[in-house]
Structure 1
Amino acid sequence: MSHILVETLTPLHIGSGRILQANTEYLYFSEHKTVSIIDEAKILNVIGEENIEQWISLIEKGDSLLDYLKKRSSAITPIETDKRTIKVKGSTNPNNGNSGIREQLFSGNGQALLAGSSLKGAVRTAVFNHAILKNPSFAKQLSNFKEIKQNGKINYKGVSLEKKYFGKDPNHDVFRLIRVGDIHFNHTECILAETLNQLELGHRFEMKNAIKQHIECIPQGQKSVGKIQIPDDLIKEIKKRPAIANDIKGISDYASITQLFGVINSFTKRQIEKEIAKFKPLDLPEGANDYIEILEKLVADINALNNDECIIRVGFGTGYLNMTGGWAIEQWKNIPNFKYEQEMENLGTAVRKNDKYNSFDLPKSRKMVLGGVPLGFIKLKQIDSSQANGWEKRLNDERVAIEKQRQLDFQKAKELSKQKAIEEAKAEAERLEKVRIAQEETKKPKLFDGQLPKSKTITVDAIIAKSGKPNWVKLFVKGYENKEFQLLRYTNLLEKDTIIIVKASTKKDGTIYEVVFEKVK
Structure 2
Amino acid sequence: MKIYRVYGEALTPLHIGSGVVIEPYEYVISKDRLYKIDLAELLISLEDKEREIILGLLEKDILGLRRFIRERVDLSRYSQFSVGVSSKISHLYEEKLDELKNQLLIGLFIRSLNRPYIPGSSLKGALRTAVIFHLLSGKTEEKFSDRLEGKILGCLDNRGFLNPSSDPFRAIKIRDVSLEKESTVIEEIETFRNDGGRLKSMGMQMIKEVVFPKRSFETELLIDDDLFRKNRDMGRRLNIELFINACSDFYQQVIDGEMDYFKRTEIASNYERFLQLDKGEFLLRLGWGSGFNSTTVNLKMPRSKQIRTRRLVAGHLPLGWIKAKIAPI
* TM norm structure 2: 0.83
Matched letter for residue 207 of structure 2: H
Corresponding letter in the other structure for 1:177: A
Give the one of 367, 372, 376 matched to 2:316.
Answer: 372
CA distance in 1, matches of 2:144, 2:12: 33
Question: Is the Cα contact below 8 Å between 1:184 and 1:225 reproduced in 2?
Answer: no
1:91 aligns with 2:91: no
Alignment of structure 1 residues 91-490 onto 2, 5 Å = 91-93=88-90, 95=93, 96=96, 97-107=102-112, 109-132=113-136, 135-136=137-138, 139-140=139-140, 142=141, 145=142, 156=143, 158-167=145-154, 168=156, 169-186=163-180, 187-197=183-193, 205-209=199-203, 211-235=204-228, 237=229, 244=233, 248-249=235-236, 251=237, 254-255=238-239, 257-281=240-264, 284=265, 290-300=266-276, 304-307=277-280, 309-329=281-301, 332=302, 340=303, 362-383=306-327, 385=329
- Structure 2 SS opposite 1:225: strand
Change (3 A) 1:70 1:86: closer
Partners of 2:135 and 2:145 in 1: CA distance: 14
- After TM superposition, give the deviation of residue 275 of structure 1 in Å: 1.1
1:66 Cα offset (Å): 5.5
Q: 2:144–2:296: 8 Å Cα contact kept in structure 1?
A: no
Please identify, of 88-97 and 315-324, the stretch whose mean Cα deviation from structure 2 is larger: 88-97
Specify the code of the residue in structure 2 equivalent to 1:105: I
> Retained in 2: the 8 A contact 1:46–1:69?
no
Give 2:27's aligned amino acid: Y
State yes or no: 1:79 paired with 2:76: yes
Displacement, 1:383? Answer: 4.3
Kindly tell me: are residues 203 and 262 of structure 1, through their superposed partners in 2, closer, same or farther at Cα, counting changes over 3 Å? same
* Superposition RMSD in Å: 2.8
The CA distance in 1 between the partners of 2:245 and 2:300, in whole Å, is 22
Greater Rg over alpha carbons, structure: 1
Call closer, same or farther: CA 1:111–1:384 in 2, change over 3 Å. Answer: farther
The SS at the match of 1:164 is helix
Contact 1:47/1:69 (8 A) holds in 2: no
Residues paired across the two proteins, number? 309
Residues 46 and 63 of structure 1, relative CA distance in 2, 3 Å threshold: farther
Counterpart residue number, 2:160: none
Offset at residue 79 of structure 1 (A):
3.2
Give the partner amino acid of 1:321. N
When you count strand as a share of all residues, which structure comes out higher? 2
- After TM superposition, give the deviation of residue 162 of structure 1 in Å: 1.5
Q: Distance in 2 between matches of 1:70 and 1:176?
A: 48
User: What is the TM-score normalised by the length of structure 1?
Assistant: 0.54
Q: CA deviation at 1:192?
A: 0.6
Greater relative contact order, per chain length (Cα 8 Å cut-off, separation 6+): 2
Partner of 2:29: 28
Q: Percent identity?
A: 25
| 1:19 maps to which of 18, 21, 25 | 21
Contact 2:192–2:202 (CA under 8 A) maintained in structure 1: yes
Cα distance, 1:260 vs structure 2: 1.2
How has the CA–CA distance of structure 1 residues 118 and 177 changed in structure 2, closer, same or farther, with 3 Å as cutoff? Answer: same
One-letter code of the match for 1:175? F
Which residue is equivalent to 1:419? none
- 2:8 partner amino acid: V
Q: 1:54 offset after TM fit, Å? A: 1.4
**Structure 1 residues 157 and 185: alpha-carbon distance in aligned structure 2, compared to 1, 3 A threshold:** closer
